[in-house]
Structure 1
């Protein structure tokens, strides 16, 4: 790869660095997740995606009809749709669907052989999670069974376990804070319920340390801090090449009126290389999904020189444009660090308020 992970210091730990010059808009690297899973409510609302790679399983036309609520819509240029429904396969044991036989085989060999026979208990865990973690979704407890099953099915279980443990590096108190933050104050007391359901649904061999209460809390914290959102869409792929932009605008208006901003198949994944990228409020790279599946691409936002640290933003664009106070508050609550990027240092003497909400926070 043309990037490498280097140790920086005790406060920042590792960072991701360029090994060569990159021009703006170029792709620094691509990687598939160690594991990923669709959000539970996203699947419940009919967003059909491959159970392994999150590639859409409906056509662009089917997607638009469902999201607009208008079943009479006929999209022009059907050849621009990238969904191939003829290759979709289904697990004969539990019925989950895949975009093709290759994904089905990869899933079975990595984790699904273990999970398929636990469909009933895992459904109880999934149902409990949905009652605790409503949209907008930021994680999914169902990622954890895939982590555990991946370890159990691995030919080198110790090495696979250690790859996941690299994501777990905080104190017990930090893990507790992040787990509670993920569930929200109202449902934080349900962690023991989720843990009990997980223990009932998974074999314990080779993963007993992760099935302890502390191990489960650590996995929730892992998901909260390292889980990377994945989003795919058959319509967005169609839009990229369609010549009639006026038509596109009207369709987006109709979808927004019917379902709001929730347009994509969405899930969460763990990415080994991407997770080494530190945050900056002036990022020089961004995450994109060019292949309409869970393969992550890191794209340069500006020219990057060899030896330069590659940084992404851990917060959304709206937060990036807000005050230093707002950015620091979100990063402390969700990632447990104070940002010392050039933008934050430059704004160190700025007032700590930019909105009524921030004003009330500062007055407390």
Structure 2
């Protein structure tokens, strides 16, 4: 029995409302995704992860050495490696060789979509229509990633495998709440200035990949745009990290003070090595419109650790490694419940991923009364501290709405001034644009 209900609120649309008193740290719900998928670039650069649940399949030693770009770096306390139990039982598809953290994940993937989506011996064949589609997407959508065309590939495979196609389509429809002008802005955000031409290229490749009659309802121009809009406005960013899990484990050990200080110094050094390995602009607010959490919130354990160790978030924000040296296994998913939660600049709940996979857990940040709307922040902690003008600008650009939460209403008469931090973001965006320009 859930402790909430989904209802329509005038001016807010669908909303999640508490039906019982919730206390701080109460788990409001846990949810597996309707569909999830690793980002295209994240997968291309070899971040080892379960193809179904995105659980990392990389040892802490492999992870730290890769991130720090030091193949011989010594790693202490490897007996607390969070992936050890999964690496003992991981398995793979016998045809295409994608890896799974367990037999359970392999069977679930096969049952839901992999029987259709498996490329078999064509997995690394760039001439295969699915691979061509993915390569076209990658050339349009460089890191930091906010989505992947592979999510739509998996959705169509799920549809073909579904025993109840009516229910599947109803679930899919429940995500769609866009109007045309919002769709245009979402496409622009995902694909850039030339989004109309790029949408056409993607559409042609998409139709080539799904030519069967069973997919005809998804391959009209209108249906394809709806699917792209659905991904752009409802997907939740997912990030799992071997490093974050290991740090959490070892920092909780009852070590002697001297050993604890040495461990703290080692962890500090690792994070700085990671940051210096591949400096690149990374704006945290781009997980997607209804993703409800920016990367800083998704990988909470990492940033909580950094905060506790007094490592300034702006350092990590500007120097998080992506492309060849991803800090996390990153992907995206669609969640039937989570997608119904609205934003507030004073959130009373938070999305977390405590199991190092794609299962989302919603926790209360404070007591929530019966009848009170349950809200999360679509912004990270740093963005929430900015001026109302800056917050509204980010929300309009990335989430296509004007926030009217209590905090925004309380600050309605504040001057329309841009927070100082936003100038840093603009500089970061220019750097990212230059990087993408060199890649095109």
TM range (shorter): over 0.9
* Structure 1 equivalent of residue 35 of structure 2: 35
State the TM-score, normalized to the length of structure 2: 0.77
Q: How far has the Cα of 1:126 moved from its partner?
A: 1.0
Does residue 254 (structure 1) correspond to residue 248 (structure 2)? The answer is: no
- Indicate yes or no: 2:246 matched with 1:242: no
Which position in structure 2 is the counterpart of 1:23?
Answer: 23
The whole-number CA distance in structure 1 between the counterparts of 2:214 and 2:391 is 40
Equivalent-residue separation in structure 1 for 2:395 and 2:215 (angstroms): 31
Q: Is the 8 A contact 2:176 2:230 kept in 1?
A: yes
Q: Residue 3 of structure 1 aligns with which residue?
A: 3
Partner SS for 1:299: strand
> Which of residues 147, 156, 167 in structure 1 aligns to 2:155?
147
CA distance in 2 between partners of 1:205 and 1:305 (Å):
50
Question: Any residues of structure 2 matched to 1:151-300 within 5 Å, and which?
Answer: 151-243=159-251, 244-259=263-278, 260-262=319-321, 263-300=327-364
Structure 1 residue 187: Cα displacement: 4.4
Is contact 1:53-1:294 (8 Å) kept? yes
Listed as ranges, the gaps of 5+ residues in structure 1 are: none
> How much has 1:256 moved relative to structure 2?
1.2
Per the alignment, residue 87 of structure 2 pairs with 85
What is the deviation of 1:314? Answer: 1.5
* 1:329 positional shift: 2.2
Question: Does the CA contact (< 8 Å) of 2:7 and 2:17 recur in 1?
Answer: no
- Deviation for aligned residue 1:171: 2.2
Change (3 A) 1:204 1:158: farther
Where does the alignment leave 5 or more consecutive residues of structure 2 unmatched? Answer: 252-262, 279-318, 322-326, 427-440
| Segment drifting more, 48-57 vs 202-211 | 202-211
- Aligned counterparts of 1:89 and 1:143: Cα–Cα separation in 2: 22
Instruction: Give the drift of 1:69.
Output: 0.9
Between the two proteins, the alignment pairs up a number of residues equal to 359
Give CA-to-partner distance per residue, 1:87-133, whole Å, 9 cap, x none.
12121222211111111111111111111148521111111111100
Distance 2:214 2:3 in 1: 33
Find the residue that maps to 1:71 and give its secondary structure: coil
Q: CA deviation at 1:188?
A: 4.3
- Residue 361 of structure 2 aligns to a residue whose secondary structure is strand
Quote how far apart the aligned CAs of 1:313 are.
Answer: 1.1
Other-structure match for 2:116 = 114
RMSD: 1.9
Other-structure match for 1:339: 403
Partner residue in 2 for 1:99 = 101
Q: 1:18 to 1:202 in 2, by over 3 A?
A: same
| 1:311 paired to 2:375 | yes
TM normalised by structure 1 equals 0.93
